[in-house]
Structure 1
Amino acid sequence: MLEVAGLGEVEERAYRLLVRAGEADVADLAEELGLTTEAAAGALAAMRSAGLAREVGDGGRRFAPVAPEVALGPRLVRQQETIDWARQAVEQLTEEYRGSLRRRNADRLIEVLPGRAALRERLRHLQDTAREEVMYFCRAGHVVMPSQDNTESLEALQRGVAYRVIYERALLEEPGMVANVAYGIGLGEQARAVLTLPVRMMIVDRAVAVLPLVQHTHGTTEPTAALVRGSSLLEALIALFEAQWERATPIRFREDGRLADAAACPLDEDELYLLSLLVAGVPEKTIASQLGLSLRTVQRRVYHLMELAGAQTRMQLAWHAARERWL
C-alpha cells in the first residue's frame, strides 16, 4: 500500500510493526514478521537510511518509528508533484500527437458523403446528437429534403438545443415556409434573413460542419457533401457564419402572423426621430431632455431599437439603420 512512498513489502511490514509496538529490536522483528535475523536487520537498516526508524536506548540495538507525517509526508508530496508533472507532460504529448495525426491524416478531418441517402442520414444523426447549438445556412431550393421535413431540428429545439438559422429571402417565398419558420421561432429558434447565402451549411456544437462540395445539382445527379471536423477549415466556416449572422436581418412577423416586409422600416415616427438623434451623435441625456422623457425610458427605447436591428452596440445599430435605409 505504501509503495508509492518508496517502501518495499518487507520495509512496510516492519514499519507498521514498529508503529504498533512503539519500539523493537532485530530479534523482535524477525520473530513477529517470520523473517531471518539477516532479513530483519536489512529491513531496519533500510528504514534507518530512509528516515523511517531511529535508534533508542544506550545500546543502539532497539529501534522506534519516526512519526508517519514526518517520515512519509514529504515523500508523498514529492511523489504527487512528480505525478502532476508527468500528467502535464502526457497532456502536452497528447496534444502534439493529435496535431501530428491531423497533419499526417488529413482524410480524418474531412469525410466525403456521397449521395442524398448518406447526407440525409448524417444530418439526422448530427441533429439528434447535438448538445448545445446548431448553426444553419438555408438556401432556396432543397437538395436533400425540404425544410418542412427536417423534424430533427424541432425535436432538438424542444430538448433545449439552440438554433441560429439564416434563410435566403427566396426560400421564405416558397409555399409553407413562413408557417414553418414561425413555428420554429415559437420553439426558440433565432432566425434571420439575407438576400443570398454563399453556401448551404450546418455546423453542430462548433465541432463539425456539413456542406456540399458541388453547389448545384441538376436532374438525377447525386449531391456530394463534405463533413468537416475540428480544424482551421472548420474555424473558417464558423467565422463565415458569424459574419453572415451579423449582416442578416432578424425575421419578424406581423400580428396577423404574416412575415413582415424585410425591406420596410419597422419603426414608427417617434422611434425614427429617436434613431435620427442617436445617429447624429446626440447624447442620451440630451435626447431625454428634448423628448421630455426620463433617461431610463430613453435607454429602454434605444435597447428596443437595438433588439429590432439585432445589434449589440450603438455603432451596429447605426450601421444597420443605414444599410436598411430606415433613415
Structure 2
Amino acid sequence: MLEAAGLTSAEETVYRLLVTMSTASADEIAEHTELTPGETERVLAALIAKGLASGTERAPRTFAATPPDVALLPQLQRKSDALDQARAEVTGLLETYRRTRRRSDPDQLIEVITGAEALRQHLRQIQDSTRHEMLWFCKAQYVAMPSGSNRAEYDALARGVRYRVLYEQAFFDDPGAVANVTDGVRAGEIARAVPHLPLRLAVSDRAIAICPLVPGGPSGSSEEPTTALVRDSSLLEALIALFERYWEDAVPLHVGASGAVSADEPARGQVLPALDRQLLSLLVAGVADKAIASQLGLSRRTVQRRIQAMMALAGATTRMQLAWQAARRGWM
C-alpha cells in the first residue's frame, strides 16, 4: 500500500508495527514480523535512512516510528507535484505529436464513418466526452437518430454541458419533433430556428465535429450515410464559423406553459424611445461605450444597462445579434 512512498513490503510491515508501539527492540520486531535478526537490522537501517524511524544510541537499543504526517505526507506531496508536472509535459508532447502527425497524415484530421449505426455510436461517444459545449445543426428527416432518441444530450445537460441547437423549419414536420424540442428546451437546451440549414453538423467543445460527406437517405432507405469526423484543423474552424453565422440570424425558440414551442418573431411595429434609437445608432457605428456616454450625457453604466435592456427585448445574446435584430425590427 505504501509503495508509492518508496517503501518495500518488509519496510512497510516494520513501519506499521512501529506505529502501533511506542518503542520496540530489534528482537521484538523480529518476533512480531517473522523476519530474521539480520533482515530486521537491515530494514530498520533503511527506515532510519528514509526518516521513517529513529533509534536510541545506548543498549539495549530501541526504535520508534516517525509520525506519518512528518515522514510520509511531504514526500507524497512532492511526488504528486512531480506527477502533475510530468502529466502537463506529456499533454504538451501529445499535442505536439498530434500536430506533427496532422501535417503528414490526413487520417489524423478526417476520419470517414460509414453507416447509420456507426454514426449513432460516434455521436453518443462524442456527447459522453463533451465537457463544455455542443453545437448542433438539426435538419429534417433524420438519418441516424430519430426525435427523442438522443438520450446522451440529456445526460450531458444534467452534468452542465451547454447545448446550442439550430433547427431548420422543415424539421418540425417530422413525427415527434415538436415534443423533442420541447423536452430539450425544458432540460436546458438553447434552441433557435432558421428557414434552412446547409448540412447536418455536430461540434463538441470546438475540438471535433461530425458532418456528412455523402448525406445518404432518410432512415429506412437503402442509402447509408458517409460521414466525416473532423479534428482540429482549418476545416473545423470553418464549420464552427458556419454555425456561428447561422446562429446570429436564427430566431430564438421558447416553450410556453402549455408546452407549445414559439419563436421570437421581429415586431416591426415596436418603437424604441428616441434616446435608445440614438444610442443604438452610435453602437452600430462602432462607437465605444465611454464615448456614447459622453455624447449622450449619460453615465457609462447607464449606457450598458440600456444596451442590456435592448438585448433582452430583442432576444439577443451579443451586441452583434442586437444590431442584426434592430435592423430586422426597424428600430433604426
User: Is the Cα contact below 8 Å between 2:249 and 2:324 reproduced in 1?
Assistant: no
Partner of 2:314: 309
Equivalent residues in 2 for 1:188-203 (5 A)? Answer: 189-194=189-194, 197-203=197-203
Pairwise CA distance, 1:123: 8.0
Distance 2:114 2:124 in 1: 16
Summarize deviations over 1:27-72 as a string: whole Å, max 9, x none: 777777777666666566666666621312xxxx3323355139x8
The answer as to 2:89 corresponding to 1:89 is: no
Partner of 1:279: 280
User: Is the Cα contact below 8 Å between 1:203 and 1:209 reproduced in 2?
Assistant: yes
Pairwise CA distance, 1:137: 2.1
Q: Residue type matched to 1:144 in 2? A: V
Summarize deviations over 1:52-97 as a string: whole Å, max 9, x none: 21312xxxx3323355139x83465235413431353145325534
Distance 2:143 2:190 in 1: 23
Partner of 2:10: 9
Distance 2:268 2:239 in 1: 32
SS in structure 2 at match of 1:305:
helix
Distance 1:199 1:92 in 2: 39
Partner of 1:242: 244
Distance 2:27 2:46 in 1: 16
Partner of 1:73: 70
Which runs of no fewer than 5 residues in structure 1 stay unpaired? 289-294
User: Is the Cα contact below 8 Å between 2:168 and 2:194 reproduced in 1?
Assistant: yes
Q: Percent identity?
A: 34
Summarize deviations over 1:129-150 as a string: whole Å, max 9, x none: 69775432245x64738x9x52
Cα pair distance change 1:74/1:18, threshold 3 Å: closer
Summarize deviations over 1:193-220 as a string: whole Å, max 9, x none: 4465443312356565321114698x98
Equivalent residues in 2 for 1:255-270 (5 A)? Answer: 265-269=267-271
SS in structure 1 at match of 2:82:
helix
Partner of 1:322: 327
Cα pair distance change 1:324/1:193, threshold 3 Å: farther
Pairwise CA distance, 1:159: 8.9
Summarize deviations over 1:211-265 as a string: whole Å, max 9, x none: 1114698x9865422133x5345455334323432343435799xx897795x54
User: Is the Cα contact below 8 Å between 1:274 and 1:287 reproduced in 2?
Assistant: no
The answer as to 2:45 corresponding to 1:62 is: no
Q: Residue type matched to 2:57 in 1? A: E
Partner of 1:292: none
Which runs of no fewer than 5 residues in structure 2 stay unpaired? 283-291
Cα pair distance change 1:65/1:318, threshold 3 Å: same
Q: Residue type matched to 1:320 in 2? A: Q
Q: TM-score, normalised by structure 1?
A: 0.60
Equivalent residues in 2 for 1:165-204 (5 A)? Answer: 165-168=165-168, 171=170, 183=182, 187=186, 189-194=189-194, 197-204=197-204
Distance 1:179 1:47 in 2: 70
Cα pair distance change 1:304/1:64, threshold 3 Å: same
Q: Residue type matched to 2:147 in 1? A: N
Partner of 2:212: 212
User: Is the Cα contact below 8 Å between 2:133 and 2:205 reproduced in 1?
Assistant: yes
Partner of 2:286: none
Equivalent residues in 2 for 1:91-106 (5 A)? Answer: 92-93=89-90, 96-97=93-94, 100=97, 103=101
Larger radius of gyration: 1
Cα pair distance change 1:177/1:193, threshold 3 Å: farther
Distance 1:7 1:175 in 2: 66
